[in-house]
Amino acid sequence: MTTAFASPSTYVQGKDLLKTASKYIKPFGDHGILLTDDIVWGLVGQRFYDYLTKGGLKIEHVQFGGESSPEEIDRIKEIAAKSDAQFVISLGGGKTNDTTKAVGDQLKIPIIITPTLASNDSPCTRLSVLYSEDGSFLKYLFYDKNPDLVLVDTSVIAGAPVKFLIDGIADALSTNVEAQSVRRARETTLLPLQTQQTEAGLALAERCEALLFHYADQAVAAAGDHTVTPALDHIVEANTLLSGVGAESSGLAAAHSFQNGLTALSGDVHKLSHGQKVAFGTLLNLVLEGASDERLVRFLTFEHRFGLPTTLKDLHLENASEDDLRKVAELTTQDGETIHNMGFKVTADDVLEGIKAVDAFSRSYFG
């Protein structure tokens, strides 16, 4: 058995971290580009730029176009190459991060990720999701290494609408559920190395889940008041570092395949975030593996408390036909999907029945 573990070279988290970020970046060089969209630039980007330049760095601000597309990657890569950038910094959300990773990888320069939200675990992973310029999914890009530096300013995270933190909690909640499925099946992980889990990767996934159940209520309350507390620190770390590294080094299973399967449909379901869709997928993962009532209820009530989808109605699919749900089930189980890491054969019929079972159990439990 060959195992592997991967993570960012350095992860730094703290309140008002942007003010002192230059000292963490200087080891990579004295000049680079800062990629951020117009909204983030207005909220925090200008201040971050000023902190970096006052800290002795030469920074070129590059406006992100909004889509992590091959065309956008090529455009930014050309700018970075012309300026002989020694590093590339992302300040923003998932698509900004993904574009920055691609640029850094292709130019072979250090990648620095500075997330403004704790809504997903993309800052720490060695992959990007690519889309066409019109927003259609294209493919995943896998890299030889994770980002060189991840800087998480918890005051910036706390300043964002609390719904984004809840999205991250929903995504992180799937990490250990899927990791345990992969462990039982002895399947390979998300790393592009065809390797199995290390105990370290599995431990991070388990710790991620523990922090969510211990501190999520406090953290959501604090974030709703735009306040940084120890509980918020724990949840930001769980959403960003533990979920990202834990999932990548421990593997995915049914929860994320269900999220992918939903792309078989159009409509209001796609107004939901990645984390919201994965939340229902986590319950589906539990049902498919035959979780006990006690275990299923633990996750169900946790999700319901934060307003996450636990029924078809919550997914805006209460009027979906049997054929529509079967399309989701068929796409969820297509070749190459991580649902096949469950350790037993999972068919489209199994998924269809599982979706109905989650919906029925949730409706029955909450009356």
Q: Is 234 annotated as a binding residue?
A: no
Q: Is 171 annotated as a binding residue?
A: yes
**Cα dist. 338→152, 171, 251, 341 in Å?**
29, 15, 8, 5
Q: Is 31 annotated as a binding residue?
A: no
Q: Is 95 annotated as a binding residue?
A: yes
Q: Is 36 annotated as a binding residue?
A: no
Q: Is 16 annotated as a binding residue?
A: no
Q: Is 343 annotated as a binding residue?
A: no
Q: Is 317 annotated as a binding residue?
A: no
Q: Residues 6 or more apart from 83 whose CB is under 8 A from it?
A: 31, 33, 60
Q: Is 98 annotated as a binding residue?
A: yes
Q: Is 125 annotated as a binding residue?
A: yes
Q: Is 274 annotated as a binding residue?
A: yes
Query: CA 150 to CA 31: how far, in whole Å?
Result: 18
Q: Is 332 annotated as a binding residue?
A: no
Q: Is 22 annotated as a binding residue?
A: no
Q: Is 131 annotated as a binding residue?
A: yes
Q: Is 61 annotated as a binding residue?
A: no
Binding residues: 37, 94-98, 116-119, 121, 125, 127, 131, 171, 256, 274
Residue ranges of the annotated binding site for NAD(+) are 37, 94-98, 116-119, 125, 127, 131
- Please enumerate, by residue number, every residue annotated as part of a binding site for glycerol: 121, 171, 256, 274
> Residues marked as binding for Zn(2+)?
274
